C-alpha cells in the first residue's frame, strides 16, 4: 500500500509541475492566480499522502489544514486586490494611462 501512495504522490507532483507552466507563462495575472490555487489544492492532497507514507497522519493533518486555509485566503486577497486595481491585462487602457508598458 505504500507503493500505491508513493505512486499517487509522484503523479500529483508531475501535475503540479504542469500547473507551474501556467504560473510562469500565463497571459494575464489572474491566470497565474488560479494556477497557484490549483497547485495549493494538489499540495494539500500531497501533504496528506506524505502523512500516510510516514505513518504520522495525526501530525500532517494540521499542516494540511493550515495549508488549505492559507491557500483560500491568498486567492481571495489577490482577487480582491486585482479587482480594485484594474491592471490585469497587459497593454490595457489603465496601464497606458499610467505610462507602464
Partner 1 sequence: MSVMSIVSMLFIIGGTFFFFGATVGLIRFPDFYARMHATGKGDTLGAFLVVIGIALYNLHNGLELGSILTSIKVVFIAIFIFLANPTATHAVTKGGLDSGVVPWTKEKTK
Q: Which residues bind partner 1 (CB under 8 A)?
A: 1, 4, 8, 11-12, 15, 18-19, 21-22, 28, 30-31, 33-35, 37-38, 41-42, 44-45, 48-49, 51-52, 57-58, 61-62, 64-65, 68-69, 72, 75-76, 78-80, 82-83, 86-89, 92
Q: How far is the CB of 65 from partner 1 (least distance, A)?
A: 6
Residue 27 CA to residue 90 CA, distance in Å, equals: 8
- The distance of closest approach from Cβ of residue 75 to partner 1 in the complex, given in angstroms and rounded to an integer, is 4
> Helices (DSSP H) in the chain: which residue ranges?
2-25, 29-54, 57-84, 93-98
Q: Which residue has the cell 489544492?
A: 41
Angle (nearest 5°) at CA 33 between 45 and 15: 40
CB-nearer residue toward partner 1: 77 or 99 = 77
Distance in angstroms (rounded) separating the CA atoms of residues 84 and 87: 9
Cβ proximity to partner 1: between 89 and 100 the closer is 89
Amino acid at each position: 500500500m505504500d507503493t500505491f501512495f508513493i505512486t499517487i504522490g509522484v503523479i500529483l507532483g508531475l501535475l503540479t509541475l504542469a500547473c507551474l507552466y501556467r504560473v510562469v507563462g500565463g497571459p494575464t495575472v489572474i491566470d497565474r492566480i488560479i494556477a497557484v490555487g490549483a497547485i495549493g489544492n494538489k499540495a494539500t492532497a500531497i501533504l496528506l499522502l506524505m502523512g500516510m507514507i510516514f505513518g504520522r497522519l495525526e501530525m500532517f493533518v494540521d499542516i494540511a489544514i493550515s495549508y488549505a486555509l492559507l491557500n483560500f485566503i491568498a486567492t481571495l486577497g489577490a482577487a480582491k486586490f486585482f479587482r480594485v486595481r484594474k491592471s490585469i491585462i497587459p497593454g490595457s487602457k489603465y496601464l497606458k494611462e499610467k505610462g507602464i508598458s
